[in-house]
Structure 1
Amino acid sequence: MKRTRRINILRSIRSSLNRFLSIVAIVALGSGFLAGLYAASPDMFETADSYLDDYRLYDLDMKAPVGFTEDDAAAVAALPGVEALLAARCADMVLETADEPRITATARVMGTLGTDGFLSLNRFRLTDGRMPERADECVVQTTAGRYTEKALHIGDVLEISRENTDYVALCGKVTATKLTVVGICESPMSISVVAEPTAVGSGSITHMVYTPAALFTGDTYTDLFLTLEGAAALDAFGDAYKALVAEFADRYTPFATDRAAARIDGLKAQVQDTVRRLRATVQSLESARQTERTLLAALPEQIAATRRTAEALAGSPQPGAAALARDLDRTADALQARLDASGGEVPESPALTEAQAGLETAQSTLNSLELARDTGWLFRTREDNTGFASYKGNVGKVAALCHIFPVFFFLVALLVALTTMTRLVEENRTQIGTLKAIGFSGGQILSEYILYSLAASVLGCAIGLTVGFRLFPAAISSAYGMMYFLPDTATPFRTDIAIWAAAVTVGSILLATLWATWAEFRACPAALMRPKAPGAGKRIWLEHIPFVWRRLPFSIKVTARNLFRYKKRFIMTVVGVAGCSALLLTGFGLRDSINDIVDKQYGEIYRYQLTVLTDSADAAESDDALRDFLADKTRIAAHLSFSSQNGKVLSGGTGGSVSICVPADPDAFPDFITLRERRSRKPIALDDSGVVLTEKLCEELGVRAGDRVTLENAAGQRADLPVSGITENYLTAYAYLTPEAYRTAFGQEPSFTTLLCRAADGIDADTLTQGALAGEHVLFARSSLSLKQTFADSIKSIDAVVFVLILSAGLLCMVVLYNLTNVNICERRKELATIRVLGFYPRETERYIFRETNTLSFLGALVGLGVGVWLHSFVIRTVEIDQVMFGRTVYLRSYLFALLISVGFTLLCNRLMAREIRRVDMVEAMKANE
């Protein structure tokens, strides 16, 4: 009996090989897609984590405004939990090549190499050249992919540029002002083409420069790089690692605060002594100058008195009077010459000028120390590294996509498998009835179909998992190769994912098999051994419209009747193709939504090109360099003073972070930032009636226009305000108020320390930022042109991921159509043989079937476009991260692409299945079962 079942199973596979292989293909696609996409994020994270651990990237980068001493470094190294420490001297500066063509680089120079070139932490991999051997040699890494025109080569000589505002101070910090490039490297300190921000040069770090520690002078360090015990064993992108680093920083923040305060107090004492000494010197010199000024003021009267006395003596007969008169005249002439030479003013005292300059510098240093005391030591984690944060965020977006697409993808595959198994059982009704009649139990017969589907699903899983674990992670990670400097992603076979993916796949196919066989196994053997009675003939709804029906050609009438006759196939084909079309439209729509962020945020909403942060509200007037820059119409067309601070918006027990923005001139504000409703594109007026909030923030809080919210500013003050408008915005959350609304809400004046600048035509980003950073009171400058490019670069990889999803959906569409068309042909072999006998040509016979397939596919594609709109909306709301809103519009071209791909795969499937129609054996198909 077992041998008979085995023979039956093998015979079933051999007689329906195409159908068996189609199940294998659909299972392979489903399981491979499911497992491969789920494995992509872990593979990419593990590869990056291994790379960062191998090259010992820091876990914490500690910074201090006044630097660290050797004692500070030793104290930190001795803290429990610290595995290793690297004390380093680093500086951001503008370097330029000594030879033509001159290349200007905004560089981060890191003096971290030991005398033997050894690096205990933050190691790098040489891709060319050698390690530095002298203080005036360096290894460089170009950190931003878009700076290919600034690539450096071995042998280039870099020198400190005079463009640095603190050029003299920088030269005093180093032992060599020229560095020779002896090596090119890749470093975990900078893994992304997205450049780190800086306050010098172009505003973005274009190169990392590694030099021996001997390059820098001084007895303090700018950075203490730490690795923590147990951190290397954790996933650097996981919550456990983040918690470990945060716990260490929180635990030793009081320690850092105390040491920073003690050092700053000691420095303050020294500076205060200097201030007192210089103040005494200034007072003494000013007192002497005042005395001289008093004497100078008395000179005219003294000269006049001397001349009067000389005149009186000149007429005196007294002996010696004439000589005395001549002496007095000479004295008066000398005093007059002195008065003429001074111009009536006491000349400047170089000593006093020097003392006053020293006092001003000392007082400024004292003020800086006061600010530094409040700041203390800073703990920077890997999350503060632009490349690390960018990689984590982008791979996280891929993970979000992969949690949605495979599920929908898999449901379509399951539907097709159910159709295939249903058809297989229907074809074998007579065999099932015969086996039941001769004594086989239902379980024994059912086991044949279970084993059939199990063989197909296991084989499909084996192929799909093997290929999926290699193909999808590699394809997705290769897309990231354009953005990140990382090793090739390792793609191991993940047993945990494979087990549950195979279990879900095989289990689903087996459930579909049980569903397909259940009705047939409940019938008696006699009923099963007879052909299933055809359904009762019915008139379709078109026949009730004689005006239309009578004018249709015969072929169209037959097609229409067949479409409504086979309702199950109608539903299966429409649903299957609709699912694939929905996936295609979602993929294309997702690309539209991502691109909208760049195009709309930086093209339509942000209308300025430069943001400048200053240290005071009057910097635009008091800073000569900044004032000249803003007044230069060849560079800046217009500018607007702006107040920006971090805050919160609270509503109904929930809240969200927000940037509170107040323009100094609300009337000029629309020239710099567009406020409008997204759907109607109607402008929103910024007035004193309330606060304008961005759309994503309002969605998260459940707030509508007219509702009241609580706004909290940076100082912790709260105010209850009505929402006067909800504006379209894609990056970051904003709350816009007028100055009057801000004053009314918080009872104080906003501080306008930010400048928004509109650039003149033809000005590039580097020119803008360099011009702004020349200002003495400028703390930070960033071009929105470079931000736009940075964000555009960061989403290129998502485009590639979307392409993988679209390609997979297209392949699924092909398999679905092939499978359903194959089932259709098998069901209607007798019908096809009949029309061939009646004289239909091969082409006419093909059109007889394919006309139905094309109609159902086109209808399914249209339905899929409707479903795709909903799926797209669901997907973008699921994958959105905090303070980022994807575009909500799917453009016409995406609908056309999805429709054309569905139609294209339908036509391709028709070409492949035409052979099956020609191979129908007419005699075999038309013989009676009796």
Structure 2
Amino acid sequence: MAVLLFVGIKSVGPNLETSIQNYVEKQNTSDLQIVGTAGLTKDDQALAKKIAGAEVELGYSFPYADEKNDKNIQMYSYNKADKQNELKLLAGKLPKNKNEIVLDKALKSAYPIGSTIKIDDSQLAESSFKVVGYVESPIYVDKTQKGSTIVGDGSLDGYAYLPATAFDSDAYSIMYLKFADLASKDMFSDSYEEALVKKENQLEKLFDRRKSERKQELVDTANAEIQKNQSEIDDNRMKLDDGQKQINAARQQIDQQKNQLAEQKERIEASGNEEAIRSFTEAQTQVTTAESKLNEQEAELKENSKKINDGQTEIDKARNDLAEMKLPNYLLTERRSNPGFEEVTSLSTRIDAIGNIFPVFFFLIGILITFTTITRMVEEDRKVIGTLKALGYRNSEIAQKYIVYAALTAIIGTVLGVLVGTKLLPPVVFKMMGTSYVFQSYPTNFWLVPIVIAIAGALLATLGATIYILIKDLREKPVALLMPKAPKPGKRIFLEYITPLWSRLSFNQKVTYRNLFRYKARMILTVAGIAGCCGLMLAGFGLKDSIGDSADIQFNQLTHYQAIVTLESDQTTQQADKAVKVIDDNNQINQSLPVYSSQVNFKKEGITDQSATVYGFQNNDHIDDHFTFKKKTKDSSTDFNKDGIVITQGLAKAYDVTVGDKMTMQDGNGKNMHAKVIGIVENYLGNSIYTSQRYLEKISKESTDSNTFLLKTKSMNNNAEKKLSKQLQDTGQVITTTFMSDQLDKQAYASTNLDPVVIIFVVLSGTLALVVLFNLTNINVSERERELATIKVLGFYDPEVTMYIIREMIIFTIMGILIGFGVGNALTWFIITTASSPMISFPLVVPMVGYIFSAGLTILFTGIVMFITHQRLKAIDMIGALKSNE
């Protein structure tokens, strides 16, 4: 069983990695992706191609929120000529015409084949697309968790692919890179990681120089557009001036005509000439009409003048923005940063960490059982060994029988364990969790290292124990071996010196305690076996809850807000009046805290890049309502009036940082900031930096006004969360609203993926506990058969004889359970520590149900063994047992 479990579990991780590797190769998944903050061009593609072996493809991508169907979708361009990230068609057909679209199968219910989806975006030449099929993208390996987005409620529901011809944009959104010289390397190997880091460093150097070129391209393009618009405005202004001059001249003429008519009016009316009066009236009407048209022209001229002034204001603003334009940045992301990749590789790491611990205990318990079994077998053959020695057989010849027996046991057990462990256990695990991922083919390969370790462990457990026992017994003389082995003498035990206690014990209790210490080796082996099995079962429960509760502790005990509202890049919390009104008017929101928030990266030679979220506080007010800072070191400070940053434990561990050290972090534009660490705090999911806006502005030399709201809400269901998210989105001031409930669901999902492994361990641990108890009890009865027959002859009833043995087993079981609780906690701690990473840590959480179940199952198995033992003791042949030594 130990070999089966060790080889089986140690094969799950490598098999899963092989499955991922095969999928990546088959779908030709990119090694890297590059996103430019100012878009990408053919020049960027040509630059990337300078890297040896680089295959470079450009594409379009943008997030889209379909409010009608309440779906957040990541849009991608599809080009049949592209070779990287090949789509797998699941139903329908791939898009050919520019008004066709294919979708993630997860969106099937909202968008059936043949339906139409409306997408209004400036990057697209079309706005109406027909759904023609469903696909699987290698960028998304997790079927249920698609990652986050900057639109809607912040949670991505799926993805879609449009023909590249449907896009109408001068700049591309994303660049895919694959390197020919990395294709032959295992993506999980150190050599692949080292080679990829070298490629990244080369790209970063190239694009660092490219930043200024790209900025100049944008400046030149913008200047050309500004110049064009300025020329148009200047031309329109000249026309406006000419028009104004013409209107002024016309108005002078009209004023002269009005004056002339005023002078003629009295004379003509006095003359009584009807013809003259009629002509005068017509002339007056013409002047009035001309003046009215002139007024209309002047109003139109004023409107045009306003438009020209507005246009000039926009041009001036564009010139000002151009003068303040920062260098564009090129963001590199590895394949493992794709949605789902980190989770599945972390799952492989966790299973491997479990495989390093659990099977070791199975081996130790296996050695224990083998040792006691072989010891008993040799003890039973003492007379045979003595006879053979007396007849002149050498020790090596006598030992052959037992060594061959042990070797055959090891070989047969190892072969069966390797075959069953390799071919049966991994498929069971994959089948139980396989619906979560896109990988449909799970290999069951034989892995040399775990097999060799298993063989060595099996041989040590059998041959080692056999040789040790034989060396001890074969040293004895034939005469001593032919004589029955003298029973161990009784000795005074510690309890006898405590007279008040010892005097109150019954005769049977005194016998039991003396026997416990009389057979110390058996007591230690039995207690160790029970403790090991109980500890393994408890660790199974502890492992599941420790992983599952990391999110619960993070978002209920350390952070106390339920939502993060991220504002548009040009908005601050003081300017976002509409968003503030929505927050103030919602009776389910108890409190909001404005903070500055942004993403930063940490880079250090030899260490994987780490990202973190920066939280900048205006002051110390209400921070404690939203955060609980548990200090990891005594010298840590969380006083944000001080200059410095507070970092989470994952960053401190990854970069070996202590309080007082300085760290360099890089903002989204590639600018480095140097900050002093004043505190290290507990954290389980992701990495965060906490500081004051004042200090952040000091080290960044940029404005750090609050741009995010942290919301404390009442308990909200999914519909209420979506409603609030939509209200905030409709203000036009909010990018996204992220709810912590999504993070809780995600971590619960990650915990569920380990359920198959935990179930297997609990079942096998329970089975092993039964085997250990039965084996050790059976040996105990066999060794003491004469003793038990004696007390039966003395008149003890069958229940009393059974209790003579069972009392010891009850004490062993209680001791084993109590020690097992400690073993289970230690095992759980070791595994979660091994499986932790800078981005995720796990608290030690062992549930009460784990204690109850592991103890209850151990007691149940003890009861079963007691019942079997009772039946055996009733059948003891007293005469035969007492004459056995004659």
Range into which the TM-score falls when normalised by the shorter chain: 0.7 to 0.9
Unmatched segments (≥5 aa) in structure 2? none
Two-structure CA RMSD over aligned residues (Å): 4.5
CA contact (8 A) 1:731 1:885 kept: yes
* Structure 1 contact 635–763 (Cα < 8 Å) conserved: no
Post-superposition Cα deviations, 1:773-794, rounded to whole Å, max 9, x if no partner, equal 4565655543322222222212
Residues 44, 489 of structure 1: 8 Å contact kept? yes
Once residues 277 and 817 of structure 1 are traced to their aligned partners in structure 2, the CA distance between those partners, rounded to angstroms, is 90
Distance 1:883 1:459 in 2: 44
Instruction: State the match for 2:328 in structure 1.
Output: 374
Residues 685, 248 of structure 1: alpha-carbon distance in 2 compared, 3 angstrom cutoff: closer
Match of 1:426 in 2: 379
Q: Which of 514, 524, 540 is the aligned partner of 1:561?
A: 514
C-alpha distance 305-642 of structure 1, shift in aligned 2 (>3 A): farther
What is the distance in 1 between the residues matched to 2:849 and 2:381? 46
Q: 1:58–1:122: 8 Å Cα contact kept in structure 2?
A: yes
Residue 35 of structure 1 corresponds to 7
Whether the 8 Å contact between 2:637 and 2:678 is mirrored in structure 1 is no
Q: Which residue of 2 aligns with 1:536?
A: 489
Deviation at 1:525, TM superposition (A): 1.5
Match of 2:118 among 148, 160, 168: 160
Does residue 112 (structure 1) correspond to residue 78 (structure 2)? The answer is: yes
TM-score by length of 1: 0.82
The CA distance in 2 between the partners of 1:700 and 1:105, in whole Å, is 37
Q: Is the 8 A contact 2:596 2:615 kept in 1?
A: yes
Looking at structure 2, the residues matched to 833 and 184 of structure 1 have their Cα atoms a distance apart, in angstroms, of 77
Per the alignment, residue 186 of structure 1 pairs with 136
- Counterpart Cα distance in 1 of 2:643 and 2:315: 46
Structure 2 counterparts to residues 253-332 of structure 1, below 5 A:
253=204, 255=206, 265-266=216-217, 268-285=219-236
Q: Which amino acid aligns with 2:662?
A: T
CA distance in 2, matches of 1:642, 1:298: 61
- Per the alignment, residue 549 of structure 2 pairs with 596
Cα shift readout 1:750-791 (whole Å, capped 9, x = no counterpart)? 443333234565363444444444565655543322222222
Instruction: For 2:312 and 2:341, locate their aligned partners in 1 and report how far apart those are by CA, in whole Å.
Output: 43
What residue ranges of structure 1 are gaps of 5+ in the alignment? 1-28, 97-101, 162-166
Aligned pairs for 1:38-437 within 5 A: 38-64=10-36, 80-82=52-54, 86-95=57-66, 103-112=69-78, 114=80, 120-132=83-95, 134-142=97-105, 151-152=109-110, 154-160=112-118, 167=120, 169=122, 172-174=124-126, 177-181=128-132, 183-192=133-142, 193-217=144-168, 221-253=172-204, 255=206, 265-266=216-217, 268-285=219-236, 349=303, 353=307, 356=310, 360=314, 374-376=328-330, 378-437=331-390
Amino acid at match of 2:488: G
Q: CA–CA distance in 1 between the matches of 2:381 and 2:568?
A: 84
TM-score, normalising length from structure 2? Answer: 0.85
Q: Provide the rounded CA distance (Å) in 2 between the counterparts of 1:716 and 1:258.
A: 16
Q: Residues 529-584 of structure 1, C-alpha deviation per residue, up to 9 Å, x if partnerless? A: 21222233323344445554454444433323322221111111112211222222
How far apart, CA to CA, are the structure 2 residues paired with 1:69 and 1:362? 27
Count of residue pairs brought into register by the alignment: 872
In 2, Cα distance between equivalents of 1:354 and 1:868: 78
For residues 702 and 77 of structure 2, what CA distance do their matches in structure 1 show?
46
Offset from partner CA, 1:296-320 (integer Å, 9 cap, x none): 9999999999877765665689999
Q: How does 1:722-733 map to 2 (within 5 A)?
A: 722-723=678-679, 727-733=681-687
Partner of 2:741: 785
2: CA distance between counterparts of 1:695 and 1:87? 38
Q: Structure 1 CA distance, aligned partners of 2:40 and 2:704?
A: 36
Separation (CA, whole Å) in 2 of partners of 1:53 and 1:631 = 52
CA contact (8 A) 2:61 2:77 kept: yes
CA offset at residue 466 of structure 1? Answer: 1.4
* Matched position secondary structure for 1:374: coil
Measure the CA separation in 1 of the matches of 2:177 and 2:221: 30
Q: Do 2:363 and 2:457's aligned partners in 1 also have CA atoms closer than 8 Å?
A: no
How far apart in 2 are the matches of 1:434 and 1:108? 83
Inter-CA distance 727–230: structure 2 relative to 1 (3 Å threshold) = closer
* 8 Å Cα contact 1:131/1:139 also seen in 2: yes
Cα separation, 2, equivalents of 1:56 and 1:748: 42
Deviation at 1:840, TM superposition (A): 4.3
Q: Residue 432 and residue 574 in structure 1: after superposition, are their counterparts in 2 closer, same or farther (change >3 A)?
A: same
Q: Give, in angstroms, the shift of residue 603 of structure 1.
A: 2.5
CA contact (8 A) 1:113 1:210 kept: no
What letter matches 2:7 in structure 1? A
Cα 1:420–1:675 shift into 2, 3 Å: same
Supply the distance in 2 between the matched residues of 1:803 and 1:239 (Cα, whole angstroms): 32
Which amino acid is the alignment partner of residue 560 of structure 1? Answer: Y
Classify the secondary structure of the residue corresponding to 2:754: helix
Mapped to 1, the partners of 2:282 and 2:162 lie a distance apart of 73
Query: Is the 2:233–2:308 Cα contact (8 Å) retained in structure 1?
Result: no
Q: Which sits farther off after the overlay, 759-768 or 195-204?
A: 759-768
Deviations 1:868-925 (A, max 9, x none): 3333333332221114231134343332222222222222333444454345443332
Conserved? CA contact 2:798–2:874, under 8 Å: yes
Amino acid in structure 2 at the alignment position of 1:110: Y
Residue 439 of structure 1, CA deviation: 0.8
> Shift of residue 85 of structure 1?
5.3
Distance 1:368 1:584 in 2: 65
Distance 2:91 2:319 in 1: 44
Q: Give the distance between the partners of 1:500 and 1:277, measured in 2 at CA.
A: 75
Partner Cα distance (1:788, 1:423) in 2:
54
The one-letter code sitting in structure 1 at the alignment partner of 2:399 is L
Change (3 A) 1:136 1:306: closer
3-state SS of paired residue (2:463): helix
Whether contact under 8 Å (1:834, 1:922) holds in the other structure is yes
Q: Partners of 1:362 and 1:892 in 2: how far apart?
A: 68
In structure 2, give the amino acid aligned to 1:93. Answer: Y
1:486 alignment partner in structure 2:
439
SS in 2 for 1:386: coil
Shift of the 363–737 alpha-carbon distance from structure 1 to 2, 3 Å rule, reads closer
Match for 2:86: what amino acid? R
Distance in 1 separating the partners of 2:828 and 2:121: 57
Q: Does 486-495 or 59-68 show the bigger shift?
A: 59-68
Q: Give, in whole Å, the separation in 1 of the partners of 2:62 and 2:349.
A: 32
Question: Against the structure 1 CA distance between its residues 112 and 420, is the aligned structure 2 distance closer, same or farther, given a 3 Å change threshold?
Answer: same
CA change 1:238–1:420 in 2 (3 A) is same
Cα distance in 2 between the residues matched to 1:111 and 1:843: 80
2:402 is aligned, of 411, 426, 449, to 449
Task: Say if 1:156 and 1:365 are closer, same or farther in 2 by CA, change over 3 A.
Answer: farther
- 1:238 CA drift (Å): 2.4
User: Distance between the aligned counterparts of 2:235 and 2:342, measured in 1?
Assistant: 57
Structure-1 separation of matches of 2:858 and 2:487: 32
Aligned to 2:770: 814
What is the distance in 2 between the residues matched to 1:716 and 1:521? 74
On the 8 A contact 1:296/1:346 being kept in 2, the answer is no
**1:910 corresponds to:** 866
How many angstroms apart in 2 are the aligned matches of 1:69 and 1:737? 38
Q: What SS does the corresponding residue of 2:710 show, helix, strand or coil? A: strand
Partner residue of 1:669 out of 603, 620, 623: 623
Distance 1:69 1:418, change over 3 A: same
State the 1:859 CA deviation: 1.1
Larger mean Cα displacement after TM superposition, 388-397 or 276-285: 276-285
Q: Name which of structure 1's ranges 497-506 and 317-326 shifts more when overlaid on structure 2.
A: 317-326
Q: Give the drift of 1:173.
A: 2.4
